[in-house]
Homo-oligomer: A and B are copies of this chain.
């Protein structure tokens, strides 16, 4: 008799759709178990079972998660928040030792995704188009003088999630004020183009890229894609394939891309389910199913671009109600 395929989703927060999708795909095959440090994380309540755990930074956190995996016979673990991806990647062997597969890229790859300047250097060193980026403001001022880059530009932390603390600035004075106030900032070219997103799955067994879902972002709200439309473009697919291979991703990644003058520029990578992934799932790009297939020991076949173009996604608020203790 086959064993159950139980999957653990850490720091599930408000990502109910991800939990719902896993539950649907696992029906009859295993359970979805969720954790969060807050009882008011609505996605907790869409799982078959949930645990309230300490904050990720607290001592003993990893042991608690490992113990949940052991006791619940967890076959795969994934996280929906950035800092935890490093934790999973760093402790991959510890999870594998108890029979749990962390669905995450290798530690050095995860770290590179969170270092915006490091990613920029990787991109230009590997002949990809990249959004001009500077950590040296004097070099930036020189490039402004000779017209290599112009205001406005973005000033943002080298490490930082979403659009938190990102400032659009128009002058040297503003750059100076920000660099005096904060450490570890970078200056990035303002891209006046169309924004795209791609949800990508790299098979955990074959290490081959097997799925890409690409969409144009139509409207953003609080740093998240609110409305998008599915697109297909072989040039974009080839770029993503090349990029993913060179960097060596594993599992799920979400790539942000700009298109300016018919050229694609890779902007950022989240090595986890992106906030806009439900669009891909609803269009048939079923990454939970691919993860389950991998966990069952089977390789996924290439289904790159296997979805319809011109399908629109719009978000709205759903609510979850619980009774307090």
A residues sitting closer than 8 Å to B (CB atoms) are: 14-17, 40-43, 218-219, 221-222, 224, 227, 229, 275, 278-279, 282-283, 308, 310-324
Given contacts A315-B318, A316-B14, A316-B16, contact A310 B282 (CB under 8 A): no
Nearest CB of chain B from residue A47's CB, rounded to whole Å: 13
In the bound assembly, the distance between CA atoms of A313 and B310 in angstroms comes to 34
B-chain residues with CB within 8 Å of residue A43 when the two chains form the complex: 316
Q: Which of A16, A43, A219 has the most CB of B within 10 A?
A: A16
Determine whether the beta carbon of B316 is less than 8 Å from that of A321.
no
Nearest CB of chain B from residue A270's CB, rounded to whole Å: 16
Determine whether the beta carbon of A319 is less than 8 Å from that of B278.
yes
In the bound assembly, the distance between CA atoms of A247 and B224 in angstroms comes to 39
Kindly report how many copies of this chain are found in the complex they form together: 2
Given contacts A222-B222, A316-B15, contact A227 B40 (CB under 8 A): yes
B-chain residues with CB within 8 Å of residue A224 when the two chains form the complex: 317
Nearest CB of chain B from residue A173's CB, rounded to whole Å: 15
In the bound assembly, the distance between CA atoms of A313 and B323 in angstroms comes to 9
Determine whether the beta carbon of B282 is less than 8 Å from that of A316.
no
- Of the residues B40, B229, B278, contact of A324 by C-beta under 8 Å: B229
In the bound assembly, the distance between CA atoms of A311 and B322 in angstroms comes to 6
Given contacts A222-B222, A321-B283, A323-B310, contact A315 B40 (CB under 8 A): no
Q: What are 26 of the A-B contact pairs (CB < 8 Å)? A: A15-B316, A16-B316, A17-B316, A17-B318, A17-B319, A40-B219, A40-B227, A40-B312, A42-B314, A42-B316, A43-B316, A275-B317, A279-B321, A282-B319, A282-B321, A283-B321, A310-B323, A311-B321, A311-B322, A311-B323, A312-B321, A313-B320, A315-B320, A316-B319, A316-B320, A317-B318
In the bound assembly, the distance between CA atoms of A16 and B320 in angstroms comes to 15
Q: Closest residue of chain B to A224, judged by CB?
A: B317
In the bound assembly, the distance between CA atoms of A219 and B313 in angstroms comes to 26
Nearest CB of chain B from residue A43's CB, rounded to whole Å: 7
B-chain residues with CB within 8 Å of residue A41 when the two chains form the complex: 314
Q: A17-B319, A311-B321 are in contact. List 7 more A-B contacts (CB 8 A).
A: A16-B316, A282-B319, A312-B322, A314-B319, A314-B320, A315-B318, A317-B317
B-chain residues with CB within 8 Å of residue A320 when the two chains form the complex: 313-316
B-chain residues with CB within 8 Å of residue A219 when the two chains form the complex: 40
B-chain residues with CB within 8 Å of residue A14 when the two chains form the complex: 314-317
In the bound assembly, the distance between CA atoms of A324 and B310 in angstroms comes to 5
Determine whether the beta carbon of A319 is less than 8 Å from that of B324.
no
In the bound assembly, the distance between CA atoms of A116 and B282 in angstroms comes to 43
Nearest CB of chain B from residue A174's CB, rounded to whole Å: 15
